[in-house]
Structure 1
Amino acid sequence: MTKSFRNLIWAVLLVTISCSDAPKGETKTASLPVYKDVPYLQDYSIKYNKQGDKLMLSQVFMDRNEVIQVASSEGILRTHDGQFLYPGVLLQDKTYRPLTDKNITAITIYKDQFVYLDDKAVLSNAWAGSLYLKHDLPKANVFAAGNDFEFLISDGPMLQYVSKNKKNWTGVLDKDKVKAIKFNKKNSTFWILGEKSIASFNPKGQTLKTVFQNGNFTSFALLHNKLILTTLDGYLEVDATTGKQIGEKKTKLPWTEITYVDVIDGHLWFGSTKGAFMLKKDGKFDYYYGKRWLPSNNVIHISKGTDGSILILTDAGLGQIVYEEMTLFDKAQYYEKQVRNRHIRLGFNATLVDMDNGNFDTGRLSDSDNDGLWTTMYLAGEVFRYAVTKSEDALQNCREAMDAMERLFSINPVPGFPSRSFERSGYKERLHDPERWQHSDDPEWDWKSTTSSDEAIGHIFAYGAMAELMDNDLKDRAIVLIDTLMSHIVRNDLYMVDFDGKPTTWGRWNPEYVNARPKMVGDRKINASNIIGMLQTAYHFTGKEKYKEKAFDLMDNHGYLDNLMWPMKDVAKAPDDADDWSKMLSESWNHSDDEMYFIGYWGLYKYAFNDTLKTKFKDAIIDHWEIERPEKEGAWNIMTALTGTQEFDLEEAAWYLREHPMDMVSWNIMNSHRKDVTFLEPNFREQTLSEVLPPDERPVQRHNANMFRLDRNYAKDGSEEFSAGDIWLLPYWMGRYLGVISAPEKNN
């Protein structure tokens, strides 16, 4: 079953619920569409690496017992060990010792049983070993099974037909060399591919007929009476009856250097020198590139497993693409374990780095300038999870993350200032960043300074959600931290002031700084939007007038309402006469700002001082969302639902969640070579394509990255694993809390 078959499973999943059923705290002005969380097919890869550089692999099949065998230059191999994210290996198959003594050159599947070709016969261990058809081609290395225990074999120049019940036949392909043989069950005909031609063999009349000649083919398949003939520059379609080419050569493909093609469940599957891809019914492709899916990108052979998986053999080993039925809730359960097992550092939501080729056991947990931000995004997701499920596990996760967040404030000497991170002292790598790392009063610990607005807005977002939705001590702890941080900012004239008494580079919301930027420069809008949302949140939960007074002062006397209402379509580069800082800030679209905007919208919209402002803020949010729609960003679409709007691209948000790869390792990814996509001219938004690629075909990245990024080439392939805490769990659990994603349901 292929990835495109998902469409049959999850189509027409949007239903509506009445506003009376909306979760606590959600907008009550209108009903919202809801994604019905029924099972879909989630794909992931199990990889098996070959042992030895000189070993040549040629074919792979799975029998009815779900045993996988690979034909190689050293005989039959089988898979050993191997599971998702933990690659296995290909080893010599010794399960039936007499078979290891034979010179087996090819394998195939007949009636879901392994059949072998050696220098003397076609044979099998199935059917009590009774299948043993001798042939006269000692160098035979190509064969295919037909009906009723009949086989057509070849050594290149010669063809021979052998059967249990019919007389044998020998022939020669006209002035060509056989490369592949396949059988068409519909008309009981063998098709033979040569290097420059394709012919058919009718076993009934034992006649051989050349159908088409038009140079250098690499592989072929038969689909709906059309011959698919592949080359190193695309493929041809030929009418199997008339032998005439249909249309022009097909080159609008992920890659045109095709090495193999087959038909699986009515879909064309292609192997190439740059990965494998499947042609979907809508004319687009599912593309499997890189070590996320395959041991290498040079594909040799593809077949369907009896368990529904797709077996993709490369020159470096086997990639088994597995399709598992699951709901988004099932996927969330997997990601919850991924975070807790590999991504918690001192309570922070962290990245695993310095891995050796995707091996988690070789990696280490890394600190980050954005430990506060990534952790608050994960924390907010767990708050939403707790609000929906009352899970004790979610509550404990919140407590541990909150411990880390509180210590960000207490580990440094500056009142109300949140550190970027902290770590045990003496770690040598920290010496390379002396501007950020500072010693604490405790000689065992250091803390990271220069905190930015990214962290500040993350703090207020998570604490606001916690203060609203928690019914325990965490509510009070969250309010204390809101007040602590915002008191520091207000006390310091809307700056975050570091240990040296100076404002940090990016912690600046003061009008003198903000309004120094020309109106079209995004920093003017983002800083105004964030600080108003932060002040509203502080006032909402503390009731302290200083926050309300400061917010209205900014809006009434310093243009902050106009700043945050500036249309997104008018955000642009600074003019030539602007200062250098403004020019630097506006060289291109800032996707980190997008992240800051949207997590800030929680406080901007929910805690608006009055209905008039709430209506304006809703307009600003939807205006921003309209600009972001091409990215199909799951988190931004779901956050927009906060406003109660009926249109927020729920289907695209669900698509993001379904299509996101379960493998979150930083494998090298390439898409800039693709010929099946439409590239755009360089532009301010850095949108490279007319339509964004699915998440499982592009680099794994956080929400602050460009979803239209095509490539990522690490010096060490597979050196990092990202946490799902902020990337996936936040939008999923927010969607559950807002009621736009249902609880898991059975598929009827």
Structure 2
Amino acid sequence: MQKPLLLSLLLLTSVALTRAQVQPTYKDKPYLQDFSVKYYADTTQTSLLQIAADRNGIIQMLAKEGLRHTSAGQFLYPGKVVPDRNYRYMKDKHISALTSYENQLVYLTDQVVFSNAWAGTLFSKHNLPKATLFAGGKDFTFLVSDGASLELIKDSKSLWNGKLSDDSAIALAFQANANQFWILGNKSLYKVGVQDKKLSKVLTGADFTAFDITSKESKIVIGTLDGILSFDIPTGKQTGGIDRKLPVTKITVVKEVNGKVWFGSDLGAFALRADGKFDYYFGERWLPGNTVTDIEKGPKNSVLVLTTKGLGQIQFKSMTLEDKAKLFDEQVRLRHIRNGFNSQLTGLNHGDLSSGFTEDSDNDGLWTAMYLGGQIFRYAATKDPYALQNCRESMDAMERLYTVNPVAGFPARSFERSGHINELHDVERWQHAPEKEWDWKSTTSSDEVIGHIFAFGAAAELVDDPKIKKQAVMLIDTVMSHILKNNMYLIDFDGKPTMWGKWHPDYVNSFPINVGDRKLNSSNIVAMLQTAYHFTKKEKYKAKAFELMNKHGYFENMMRSMNIIGRAPEDADDHAKHMSDGWNHSDDEMYFLGYWGLYRYAFNDTLKAQYKKQIIDHWQAERPEREGAWNIFTAITNPKEFDLNESVWYLQEHPMDLIDWVIKNSHRKDIDQLEPNFRKQTTKEVLPPDERPIQRHNGNMFTLDRNGGNGTGEHSAGDIWLLPYWMGRYLNVISAPQK
């Protein structure tokens, strides 16, 4: 007979949940997804200076050694910067500058401004043999400068000559709506009209480096060695002071492209957004090098960011979330499936995807369970037979974790062919399997088991394939019988509990109430027991769950608010102190995976209502991270609010390139950094996923930097992205693509 749950619940009857709220649904319409195609230069033979593109999509670069162009190159498969021999006689020209004028490539030499477009008729002579700067105006009028002098020319005629007073020109630009040129010096800003030919100084400053005319030719943005400033053209005045709240303050380039102002620096490039914040492009996720020498508009809605080490062509492609899911599905199936597991590609040589290998992990079962969960939701939402086959293969891999080792009901962490064991650092975890060809990894942890139960429960409920349903229920029963038989412990090959596979009250309640493991293990084991009872109807699971909740305080542990989680008190033991040295994001992962079975398979509606409070309380604590998966997991409780917009932001802003490149943000002046704290939150607002290191859901989304191992591995999108997306599709909080 079922025991009463808690004294406080004796007064409650099993009541129906309040009428379901109508949840919002994101309509999956196309958005612009950015990604980079990189072209590396041989820096021993090429010193890159400028870049331009023409109406045909030809990209050309000027180096000290001559003209260069791109060779090959596509997303994740970089091309090269090579000498441009297309016009063979160009090598005889002493080209000192390059630009795009009326969507054609135009060149400056020591004698002329010329082009191969317009049948080669543009050939306008000038009188500045050391000229290095030029800009095009209306009707093939050009302003040319050698830094000291200026000359306005048209059709080889000199229309005007001038000099800056006590300054040197470093950049030129043309304002079409006023038919005038602007000249930037190291410490001043000038203008000269094509009609009146009057040179006038309009601004004095210091340490100017670059500029461009922006905002529909109403404003000039000037870069300096320490920030940027704005000059309002209609009023002829500087607006405000120098802005240093930037990702980087040492500016090398300013360029407006398609209405957005871009900046180059010695630490990457960044673009000003409509909300006043910046999109930051740092490192080889985006650029071959971080010292930016030029930025220009590129072909097909791209931006060309030239660096000292090559070109980063940042492309903006219109796609839906489902389009992105298809690309990520291909990534997983081509490079991240190992024996049916969802694995990481490692051992890469500087991002070369052909050089890597899939590596076993302590958490093969967990990462695969999360990928499997995504494929289950995909099948449930679409009935796609391809997704069903993915489920079959991953389910078989998960089942073999239980059969590859000789311990009844015990899941291995992983398995691998014999011989590979000698290459591994953690040899002590590996055991020889009864099958001669195989070895298996022991010491399985609680995060593995909760992942298994999540995926098996979802499969048993949502997949209409009889074999998979039977397989899933059998595996749930197998591992949970092992845990019950062994007094709430996961018992390894040596007859001892594993380090983390412990749900016995002696262990769980040994932690102070504010140490997370007490709450976590209580929540997880109840979720697991509920799942087991729901699908097997074996009373032993239900009885044990109520025993733990009533007799041993697990319900109280579970319902304790996240607000009290913190460091263990001074009189706690060393283990408790070690386990509470900061917020544990792996615990978050275990909680939310467990919430599927906790809420979905609750014993009764009274408990379900209480569980919802627990989940919402946890979600409130997680909201600053804008974590797509945890928001969408929260949506299973049908709350009024679960941050759907932030979930979509996570999915859209997640980079397409999942390679572990070096990432740096801690130097940025545009983010508000916080003092060290228990939650390990480094900034007031979390950065977009495409600006921070690639992380699984058990990572700290406030991590700013990733150092070392540049381009040595590629993460799988299977657990990182496909799980939250397809869960959102199944829950109907994300729609199918909208036509």
Q: TM-score range by the shorter chain?
A: over 0.9
Equivalent position amino acid for 2:486 in 1: N
Contact 1:28 1:644 in 2 (8 A): no
State the alpha-carbon separation in 1 of the partners of residues 288 and 126 from structure 2. 36
Equivalent position SS for 2:667 = coil
Structure 1 stretch displaced more, 393-402 or 235-244: 235-244
State the alpha-carbon separation in 1 of the partners of residues 667 and 682 from structure 2. 13
Equivalent position amino acid for 1:547 in 2: Y
State the alpha-carbon separation in 2 of the partners of residues 165 and 53 from structure 1. 37
Structure 1 stretch displaced more, 92-101 or 580-589: 92-101
Aligned partner (choices 127, 150, 153) of residue 118 of structure 2: 127
Deviation at 1:221, TM superposition (A): 1.7
Aligned partner (choices 660, 682, 694) of residue 666 of structure 1: 660
2:333 counterpart of 1:350 = no
State the alpha-carbon separation in 2 of the partners of residues 386 and 190 from structure 1. 61
State the alpha-carbon separation in 1 of the partners of residues 340 and 167 from structure 2. 67
Give TM-score scaled by structure 2 length.
Answer: 0.96
Deviation at 1:427, TM superposition (A): 1.9
Equivalent position amino acid for 2:703 in 1: R
Contact 1:211 1:240 in 2 (8 A): no
Aligned partner (choices 20, 35, 50) of residue 41 of structure 2: 50
State the alpha-carbon separation in 2 of the partners of residues 347 and 241 from structure 1. 65
Say if 1:28 and 1:102 are closer, same or farther in 2 by CA, change over 3 A.
Answer: farther
Aligned partner (choices 520, 527, 534) of residue 528 of structure 2: 534
Deviations 1:707-737 (Å, cap 9, x if unpaired)? 11111112x2011100000000000000000
1:414-429 aligned within 5 A:
414-427=407-420, 429=422
State the alpha-carbon separation in 2 of the partners of residues 740 and 210 from structure 1. 58
- Equivalent residue for 1:253? 246
2:206 counterpart of 1:219 = no
Deviations 1:177-234 (Å, cap 9, x if unpaired)? 2211111111011111112222112121222222222222111122353332211110
Contact 1:430 1:437 in 2 (8 A): no
- Equivalent residue for 1:116? 107
Aligned partner (choices 566, 589, 597) of residue 603 of structure 1: 597
Deviation at 1:516, TM superposition (A): 0.4
Aligned partner (choices 459, 462, 466) of residue 452 of structure 2: 459
- Equivalent residue for 1:364? 357
2:641 counterpart of 1:650 = no
2:681 counterpart of 1:690 = no
State the alpha-carbon separation in 1 of the partners of residues 683 and 262 from structure 2. 24
State the alpha-carbon separation in 2 of the partners of residues 687 and 267 from structure 1. 31
Deviation at 1:51, TM superposition (A): 1.9
1:279-318 aligned within 5 A:
279-318=272-311
1:541-580 aligned within 5 A:
541-580=535-574
Deviation at 1:306, TM superposition (A): 4.1
Say if 1:85 and 1:546 are closer, same or farther in 2 by CA, change over 3 A.
Answer: same
Q: How many residues align?
A: 720
State the alpha-carbon separation in 1 of the partners of residues 415 and 239 from structure 2. 65
1:348-497 aligned within 5 A:
348-427=341-420, 429-472=422-465, 473-497=467-491
State the alpha-carbon separation in 2 of the partners of residues 359 and 66 from structure 1. 26
Contact 2:43 2:308 in 1 (8 A): no
Deviations 1:625-665 (Å, cap 9, x if unpaired)? 00000100000000101001121000100110000000000
Equivalent position SS for 2:98 = strand
Equivalent position SS for 1:442 = coil
Contact 1:483 1:538 in 2 (8 A): yes
State the alpha-carbon separation in 2 of the partners of residues 595 and 223 from structure 1. 45
Deviations 1:434-485 (Å, cap 9, x if unpaired)? 2211111122211000000010000000000000011111010000000000
Say if 1:125 and 1:642 are closer, same or farther in 2 by CA, change over 3 A.
Answer: same
Structure 1 stretch displaced more, 287-296 or 165-174: 165-174
- Equivalent residue for 2:72? 81
Contact 2:421 2:430 in 1 (8 A): no
Deviation at 1:354, TM superposition (A): 1.2
Deviations 1:263-317 (Å, cap 9, x if unpaired)? 2233221111111111112111111111111111111111112421111111111
1:86-105 aligned within 5 A:
86-105=77-96
Say if 1:203 and 1:49 are closer, same or farther in 2 by CA, change over 3 A.
Answer: same
Contact 2:635 2:642 in 1 (8 A): yes
Deviations 1:692-714 (Å, cap 9, x if unpaired)? 11100111000000111111112
Structure 1 stretch displaced more, 277-286 or 339-348: 277-286
1:269-284 aligned within 5 A:
269-284=262-277
- Equivalent residue for 1:522? 516
Equivalent position SS for 1:743 = strand
Deviation at 1:29, TM superposition (A): 2.2
Query: What residue ranges of structure 1 are gaps of 5+ in the alignment?
Result: 1-25
Contact 2:23 2:638 in 1 (8 A): yes
Deviation at 1:431, TM superposition (A): 4.8
- Equivalent residue for 1:501? 495
Deviation at 1:348, TM superposition (A): 0.5
Deviation at 1:53, TM superposition (A): 2.5
Equivalent position SS for 2:317 = strand
Aligned partner (choices 28, 38, 44) of residue 29 of structure 2: 38
State the alpha-carbon separation in 1 of the partners of residues 59 and 294 from structure 2. 13
Structure 1 stretch displaced more, 125-134 or 54-63: 54-63
- Equivalent residue for 1:19? none
Deviation at 1:172, TM superposition (A): 1.8
Contact 1:27 1:644 in 2 (8 A): no
State the alpha-carbon separation in 2 of the partners of residues 674 and 132 from structure 1. 46
Equivalent position amino acid for 1:251 in 2: R
Contact 2:43 2:309 in 1 (8 A): no
State the alpha-carbon separation in 2 of the partners of residues 203 and 306 from structure 1. 30
Give TM-score scaled by structure 1 length.
Answer: 0.95
State the alpha-carbon separation in 1 of the partners of residues 305 and 705 from structure 2. 22
Deviation at 1:94, TM superposition (A): 1.0
2:55 counterpart of 1:61 = no
Say if 1:190 and 1:27 are closer, same or farther in 2 by CA, change over 3 A.
Answer: farther
State the alpha-carbon separation in 2 of the partners of residues 205 and 462 from structure 1. 75
2:166 counterpart of 1:183 = no
Aligned partner (choices 696, 704, 717) of residue 702 of structure 1: 696
Say if 1:240 and 1:526 are closer, same or farther in 2 by CA, change over 3 A.
Answer: same
State the alpha-carbon separation in 1 of the partners of residues 18 and 522 from structure 2. 24
Deviation at 1:429, TM superposition (A): 4.8
State the alpha-carbon separation in 2 of the partners of residues 551 and 191 from structure 1. 76
- Equivalent residue for 1:152? 143
1:619-658 aligned within 5 A:
619-658=613-652
- Equivalent residue for 1:264? 257
State the alpha-carbon separation in 2 of the partners of residues 513 and 506 from structure 1. 10
Deviation at 1:497, TM superposition (A): 0.3
Deviation at 1:242, TM superposition (A): 5.8
Equivalent position SS for 1:156 = coil
- Equivalent residue for 2:8? none
Equivalent position SS for 1:105 = strand
Equivalent position amino acid for 1:81 in 2: A
State the alpha-carbon separation in 1 of the partners of residues 424 and 329 from structure 2. 34
2:293 counterpart of 1:329 = no
- Equivalent residue for 1:203? 194
State the alpha-carbon separation in 2 of the partners of residues 28 and 174 from structure 1. 77
Equivalent position SS for 2:370 = helix
Query: What residue ranges of structure 2 are gaps of 5+ in the alignment?
Result: 1-16
Contact 1:47 1:295 in 2 (8 A): yes
State the alpha-carbon separation in 2 of the partners of residues 552 and 261 from structure 1. 66
Contact 2:514 2:566 in 1 (8 A): yes
State the alpha-carbon separation in 1 of the partners of residues 55 and 492 from structure 2. 66
